[in-house]
Amino acid sequence: MISAHAADFVWRCSGAIALHQNKGYEVTVVCLSYGERGESAKLWKAGNTHLDEVKDIRRREAEKAAQALGAHDIQFLDLGDYPLDLSQDAKFKLVDIVREVQPEFMLTHSQYDPYNTDHMSTSKFTMEVRMIAQAWGHNPGQKVLGAPQLYLFEPHQTEQMGWVPNVLLDITEVWEKKRAAIECMDGQKHLWDYYTNLAQNRANHFRRNAGGQAGGGSADYAEAFQAIYPRCVKQL
């Protein structure tokens, strides 16, 4: 999964990460930045006045969170934030990572986010990386990427983002791991309960859409995603 800042993957899709690790996947998390400028207000207000110091704190938080989730790998590209510096070199570096990992699916941000343009820049960046990784003419000799589904995880203030969920994922069995990862993000403690409540609300939507009122699927915690590409099936 591709996260603009070091904490984004925790709030938005850490349940999916832990769940798929439990199912035998090897999940790789790539953080484009540490979120050192715009996502670390608490640390700056506390007197951490050196950029490298804030980066180090956020990196350690993210590594601890990834460990709590059981993630296979976490990588940091250190591309700055507010704004991200998404150069062609950075793009090609991520293409190399994606081709090496050969993901069965990918996760990233919504396509629109007027509150945080780093997020929507990351979404476009990820789509471009996926496209380039599929190109036989880019670095011939590397294994090209197939066609992994791209899931856009839930943004903050969804009603203003043009994001419409079409996948609801039951994360009940790994909720304690997600909450443990959330509690690693001490620099953004104000979001802990918000994302706990969101997971409970999405579980309500999961139950409604899974026929829970008629004895169908149940869930206590869930995450929501928007799938970008069509599903290719032999039957409905």
Residue 214 has pLDDT above 90, yes or no: no
Helices within 39-169 (DSSP H only): 41-45, 51-69, 88-101, 117-133
Higher pLDDT, 44 or 196: 196
Residue 187 has pLDDT above 70, yes or no: yes
Q: How far is it, in rounded angstroms, from Cα 107 to Cα 29?
A: 9
Q: How far is it, in rounded angstroms, from Cα 59 to Cα 44?
A: 15
Lowest mean pLDDT among 20-29, 40-49, 53-62, 138-147: 40-49
Please report which confidence band the pLDDT of residue 107 belongs to, taking 50, 70 and 90 as the band edges: very high
Other Cβ atoms within 10 Å of 18 Cβ, number? 24
Average confidence (pLDDT) over 61-72: 98
Identify the pLDDT of residue 48.
Answer: 66
In the chain, the domains with their CATH numbers are 2-227 (3.40.50.10320)
Contact 34, 78 (CB under 8 A): yes
Identify the pLDDT of residue 46.
Answer: 86
B/e letters for 193-202, b = 16+ CB within 10 Å, e = fewer, are: eebeebbeeb
| pTM for the whole structure | 0.95
Residue type, 190: H
Please report which confidence band the pLDDT of residue 179 belongs to, taking 50, 70 and 90 as the band edges: very high
Residue 217 has pLDDT above 90, yes or no: no
